[in-house]
Amino acid sequence: MHKLCLLLASSVLLSACATSYQSDGITGGYYEIPGPGQLDKVAFSGNGLIKPSSVQNYALYRAAELAKSKNKPYFIIYRTLVDAARNNPGNLPLVGWMQGKPVAYSFVLYLDESRPGALTTATVLADMAKVVGGTPAADGQGVMK
Amino acid sequence: MKFVNYTMIAAVALALCACNTYPTFSPDANTMMVPVRVMNTGKYLLCQNGKRFNLPLKEEANNVSSVQVPVGEVIGLAVYTEQSTVFSVSYCTSGVNFKPVENQAYVMNNGFFENKCFAELVKQDKSKDTGVSLEPSATPYSCQP
């Protein structure tokens, strides 16, 4: 009985808060899949309590973190592979719903020099630091799925 | 009466399960195959001359997964995903028709945009930093004889 109560209490605690900015875990978070080419698929999955716009911002922030960890001052996000093939950059990751929970992702290309449509790594990190509620440019260590 | 209800539930459940029960694709030894890297999870289906087959997923290093498809004629490549929440279960099949050619690798991505599932397919292109180019033969998925 005691164990059951503990289990219930932990479930309630886990499900009571929106996913915070974190690496992928039981309530969601960011993860990366390498490729194709020099791209990384960078994603952030949330729980049922997080706003889609937050998931989108977190995925963008993670892309900037990775760019910084690779010493790339610029990066481009492509919302789809077709956009990458057409070199049609986007401003924000794509958001969809899986299992009733929002997931945002984009294909990210890291750059040494700016190109049309490129985002500046330092600017994104600075602008989004308040949104993710953390220190700008964390360690860049992520979860490879 | 209860028996009827349970029988109906079982029949519906069986019918739902049967929708995605296809034989595994087993090509002739002479059939030339090419890889399609997949950027997401799901059950992959091949449509050849109106017949559907399950395609086994090959897991490689770095969590890269791919399926093998036959070259030479237009095929359908689809991914079947299941979404369940506390309140509902929904299924979605999205895919692409295309004509694979020898010595060409492809990349398929699927996901959800807003509440709709989608799939996209591009060809690998090592000459580009994005690693992908548009596949000219790609058309919306259909599985007709």
Note whether B20 and B34 are within 8 A (CB). no
B2 min Cα distance to partner chain A (Å): 32
CA distance B133 to A122: 30
CA distance A144 to A32: 5
pLDDT per residue as tens digits for the range A62-107: 999 999 999 999 999 999 999 999 999 999 999 988 777 889 999 9
Question: Can you give the residue ranges of every domain in chain A?
Answer: 18-132
Q: Which residues of A touch B (CB under 8 A)?
A: 33-39, 41, 78, 80-82, 84-87, 94-100, 103, 105, 107, 109, 144-145
A38 min Cα distance to partner chain B (Å): 6
B8: pLDDT strictly greater than 70: no
pTM summary value: 0.82
Start-to-end C-alpha separation, chain A: 37
pLDDT per residue as tens digits for the range A4-60: 555 555 555 555 687 888 888 778 899 999 989 999 999 999 887 888 889 999 999
Higher pLDDT, B76 or B40: B76
Best CA proximity match to B56, nearest among B73, B71, B69 = B69
Question: Is residue A120 very low, low, confident or very high in pLDDT (cuts 50, 70, 90)?
Answer: very high
CA distance A100 to A51: 12
User: Listing from the earlier edge strand, what are the strands of the sheet with B89-98?
Assistant: B51-55, B43-48, B75-84, B89-98, B139-140
**DSSP letter assigned to residue A144:** B
**By three-state DSSP, how is residue B86 classified?**
coil
- CB contacts of A100 in chain B (<8 Å) are 83, 85-87
User: Burial letters for B111-133: b for 16+ Cβ neighbours within 10 Å, e otherwise?
Assistant: bbeeeebbbbbbbbbeeebbbbe
Residues 6+ apart with CB under 8 A from B72: B32, B99, B100, B101
* φ, ψ (nearest 5 deg) of residue B82: -120, 135
Give the nearest chain B residue to A77 (CA atoms).
B130
Is A97 within 8 Å of B126 when comparing Cβ atoms?
Answer: no
User: Burial letters for A123-135: b for 16+ Cβ neighbours within 10 Å, e otherwise?
Assistant: ebbebbbeebeee
